[in-house]
Structure formats: structure tokens, C-alpha cells
Amino acid sequence: MSKLKIAIQKSGRLSEKSVALLEECGLKFPNGGGKLITECTNFPVEILFLRDDDIPQYVEQNVAHIGIIGENVFLESQKEIRIVEKLNFSGCRLSLAVPKEIEYEGLDFFNNKKIATSYPNILGKYFKENNISATVEIISGSVEIAPGIGLADGICDIVSSGSTLLSNGLKEVETVIESQAVMVSSPNLEAEVQEILNKLLFRIRSVQNAKENKYILLNSPNNQLEKIIAILPGMNSPTILPLAKEGWSSLHSVIGEDKFWDVIDELKQAGAEGILVVPIEKMIL
Ligand code: ATP
Ligand code: ZN
């Protein structure tokens, strides 16, 4: 029987979350001990632990059927692979940064300058689209020290909080791309493998939906129920159960994690009491 081969980062910023995602999808596998390949015990999946930069190539060649990498690595690789799912973790951006004392007034600054980066393809495309003619100096690590040692006038690198830039005397001036972890796949999977992937994607989406939503329970005086229901941007009509206390009901619904904080005050003002917001483990739509 066919197996779906999944490549994930062996050790680095994506490793733990990639493993966690697969575990949340119910996959059981031995992890650790420096193994490079492991088999799931309860799902037709094999997991390969690789350097993230190698994953696009392995996936393109069908050595791995799918992989989890940063969008930045996907775009830089220029391989014949496609994104099948955005995974909502490891969000970061690829940005241009310059020494902090420079009075930066716009992209024109980069004309005829030398920029150090590990992302020559993405940066080259960005400069081309913006009609900037700059020299791209390719270096593979510690890009942020390049301006300080006179190797470049600026850099293009991954930024999340910006603290690494600051401690190297740099400031972020332009975002080139936004990135997050994505699942990539080879363009042509055999039907049997595609079927396993579809099952996994269904599970991933259920896990993602669950993370984006909360289960909300609250008590409401019956005469305020209509008002409270109108405040809740619920997915379906809420469940309403009578409370032992005369004239009161308990209301259950699902609410977007991001929307909850917007409506909490309104709910209280409308008379809601005993509000509980609880995590959802899986949500099947
Ligand atoms: P490898 O040894 O596998 O080549 P690496 O050093 O290239 O690892 P990491 O630093 O582990 O890569 O980063 C992996 C991915 O995590 C990056 O490609 C990017 O998508 C994302 N990432 C990098 N830095 C951050 C950050 N500061 N915050 C969030 N995500 C990040
Ligand atoms: Zn890497």
C-alpha cells in the first residue's frame, strides 16, 4: 500500500510546530533520537526530517510528496511545487533594512547600492518590479552583519520582531514579502497518495478551524436573549437551554477567536452573565 511521504524541518524554527501539527491531526510516530525518517503507526505516512532549504527539491523530485516550509523558502526555491495549504504559524516577513543613521526616503535609496541577502531570487524580482537597479550580494548566513563590516549598504532578511536588526544597528525600511509556514506538494501525485493527502488536509483544516474559534457559553435573562443573539456573530443559530433559575437561559455558540474581544463588553451590557469561553479541539465544517 502507498504511503504519503512528508518532509519537515529536522531542527529549526519550524520543527516543533510541524511535529505538533501532525500530532494534532492524530498521527502517532516516534520522534527524536536524531532519526532521519520515521513511520506513523496509525496512518499511512512516512516522515522525513531534512534541512528546510532542501525540502523544495525533494518535493519537486517526488522523494517526498509534501513538505512543510516557510513561504519564503518556497518562493526562493523556484521549484515546480505548489502550496496546498497555508498553516498559520511561523509568521514573519522578508524585509529590507539599512543602517539606522540613514535618512531613508524611499525605494530609490537602493539604486546603485549593494544589498546582502540569502534570498537573491525574491529580492531580484522585487527590485525588477520596482525598477530598482541594485547589486545583490548573496550570503548564506549572518546577513545582518554585512553593512557593519562594509560588505553591503543594506540587507534583505527575515524579520519577526526586529530586535536582531536593532542590535546590529539596522532599521527595517521595506517589507518585500510576508511569510508563514505552508504545506507544499509535488504537482503530480499518484491517486492513492493524493487520497491520503486529502484525508490529512481534512484533518489539518479541522484543527485550524478549531484554533480560530472558541466555544462560548453564557447565561442570559430570557427577555435579553434576542439582543444577545444579535451581538454574537455565530456560525449557526445558538443552542438555548433553560436554566433552573426562573426566567434565565443558557446560550451556547461558536465564535471567532478574533471577534470575541470585540463583543465581550456588549454582551455584558446586554445582561449576559457567567460567560465561559473554552477552546475547541477539532471543528468539522
Ligand atoms: P535549516 O538548518 O533547516 O536550514 P534555517 O536556519 O534555514 O534552518 P530557521 O531559522 O530554522 O531556518 O527558520 C526556518 C523558517 O522559519 C524560515 O524559513 C522562516 O520561514 C521561519 N522563520 C525564520 N525566522 C523566523 C522568526 N524570527 N520568526 C518566525 N518565523 C521565522
Ligand atoms: Zn535553512
CATH number at 54 reads 3.40.190.10
pLDDT at 236: 66
d(CA 229, CA 110): 54
146 Rama class: left (phi>0) / alpha (psi -120 to 50) / beta: alpha
Query: What is the whole-number distance in angstroms between the Cα of residue 182 and the centre of ligand 1?
Result: 13
Mean pLDDT of 57-71: 97
Residues with CB under 6 A from ligand 1: 9, 12-14, 51-53, 70, 72-73, 90, 92, 158, 160, 179
Q: Which of 189, 224, 251 is the last residue of a domain?
A: 189
pLDDT at 234: 62
- Residue 33 scores a pLDDT above 90: no
**Residues 82 and 129 both lie in one domain:** no
Alpha-carbon distance values, 190 to 118, 193, 201 (Å):
34, 5, 16
Domain count for the chain: 3
Average predicted confidence (pLDDT) for the chain: 95
Query: What is the whole-number distance in angstroms between the Cα of residue 75 and the centre of ligand 1?
Result: 14
Mean pLDDT of 260-276: 92
**Residues 64 and 122 both lie in one domain:** no
Could you tell me if residue 185 is inside a domain? yes
**Residues 185 and 82 both lie in one domain:** yes
136 burial (CB, 10 Å; 0-12 / 13-18 / 19+) is middle
**Residues 16 and 85 both lie in one domain:** yes
Residue nearest to ligand 1 atom 2, measured at CA: 51
**Residues 222 and 233 both lie in one domain:** yes
For 71-86, the pLDDT digits (tens) are: 999 999 999 999 999 9
Atom index in ligand 1 nearest the CA of residue 159 equals 27
Residue among 185, 181, 182, 183 nearest 60 (CA): 185
- Residue 139 scores a pLDDT above 90: yes
CATH of the domain at 236: 3.30.70.120
**Residues 47 and 185 both lie in one domain:** yes
Question: Hey, which residues does 42 pair with through a beta bridge?
Answer: none
- Which residue range is the domain that position 225 belongs to? 213-279
